[in-house]
Amino acid sequence: MTTLTFLGAAQRVTGSCYLIRNGQQQILLECGMLQGENSNGKRGGKRKKSNTTGNNGSHFPFEVADIDAVVISHAHLDHSGMLPLLAKQGYQGPIYMTRQTQALLPTMHKDAAFLQEKDAEWENKRRARAGKKAVEPLFNTADVELELGLCQGMAYGEEAEILPGIRLCFREAGHILGSAIVELWFDDKGDTRKLVFSGDLGNSQAPLMRDPAIITEADLLLMESTYGNRDHQPLEQTLDEFRAALDEAADSGGNVLIPSFAVGRTQDLIYHLGQLYHAGQLKQNNIYIDSPMATSISEIYEQNTRLFNKDDPEFRQIMTHDWQQWLPILRFTRSVEESMALNKIAGGAIIIAGSGMCHGGRIRHHLKYNLWRKNTHLIIAGFQARGTLGRLLVDGVKKVKILGSEIAVKAQIHTLGGFSAHAGQSQLLEWAGHMRKSMPRLYLVHGESESMLALQKRFIEEFNWDASIPTLGEIIHF
């Protein structure tokens, strides 16, 4: 008998982590960081002590020495961000992922380590003033190097036996570069059971990634439900709103700020801005990617254009090896000095900066210098978790505290839903519907309660298929 324990992303969006026990073998499926609300050690979240990886505590709720293998669906930190801590605490086994995820992790995890180190530095200054004992970061860059040495990249569709009697295969998920649906088979004396984990499923409207692979059979299905309660608006409507916001900003003479995830969202935005540029519909003449991580990630995307879809032949013809071929007015700011210089621009610029939920990164500096301006236009182009600065701004807060200063929010705020890299409700149902003949046991993960409940209801209405909503720490047998 095989068991699975839900250690993260149970009735919450982030912190993905599941422990699989198959006899004496143990596999960790995902090792994600909690972001936003209750994220211990992360700026922008409430600090809360915990012994679970989902709350970013310093102790895992399992014996690290007992883990035989780790499987990661994709590079986003809420799925992979605690891997350096795992290595720090002695894990020396293999970490399986796609080759593209393996390429993305060095940039993403070194950046995460830097933020952990800075958080600890700032916290220790506060503690020193209070006469309290200093703290250490959860992990540092040396721990990242340990982790990276354990990573093993696999090609999509490649099947490998990762432990005796346990086979693994990654299928395209269409979410970001390298994102995967995970298939795991457990063989026991001729009896084979199959677990499918959706990972984060991509939005079929997304401009670069291919659609998620179709899977028809499973015994157990773990499925994300981030947008389980709604569909995204049509992409054309979103692009019209995007164009209108850019026009309004240009006419008012203000800047456009776009907080953006470095992986996926930034590259999609470059594509859409390039479309406007080639159509002669972009009034701004200066576009900046102000994120060292997004710059590095964009270079990795450039190296993997073969994995892009083929929906736009003109883009594929122009974009052969360099984003600036596609968008000549694009500039990547790499140094701190270049980033600071952007704060002197009073208007006419589009500044895309990390992080996507405004809980860290250079976007906070640009918000500090621009939120109080009435002609600033802030475009929110992605999901904002509860507890993040981005969520507060979307919810209409009038004042925010950024980098020690209280800032009045007078900027125009535009929320665009159609750019999401996640599948909407109908897309989730359509993807899972290919398994309705095998009707696997279904568990909904990676979603807030209202999203899970709505999707659970639709599964009953659409397929007469019971979907369970697990709790943190729940153990199931399959």
Task: Please write the tens of the pLDDT for every residue from 224-273.
Answer: 999 999 999 899 999 999 999 999 999 999 999 999 989 999 999 999 99
By the 10 Å C-beta count (0-12 exposed, 13-18 middle, 19+ buried), 19 is classed as buried
* Pairing label, strands 191-197, 220-224: parallel
Determine the average pLDDT of the residues in 159-171.
98
CA 425 to chain centre: 18
The pLDDT tens digits of the residues spanning 384-436 come to 877 889 899 999 999 999 988 999 999 999 998 788 889 999 999 999 999 99
Q: Is the pLDDT of residue 135 over 70?
A: yes
The string of pLDDT tens digits covering residues 321-340 is 899 999 999 999 989 999 99
Closest by CA position to 159, among listed 170, 146, 145: 170
Q: What is this structure's pTM?
A: 0.90
pLDDT class of 93 with cuts at 50, 70, 90: very high
- Can you tell me the distance from the alpha carbon of 41 to that of 135, in angstroms, rounded to the nearest whole number? 11
Kindly report, residue by residue over 424-434, the tens digit of the pLDDT: 999 999 999 99
d(CA 64, CA 397): 42
Give the pLDDT of residue 355: 84
Domains annotated for the chain, with CATH where assigned, are 2-230+421-477 (3.60.15.10), 235-415 (3.40.50.10890)
CB 400 within 8 A of CB 389: yes
pLDDT exceeds 50 at position 41: no
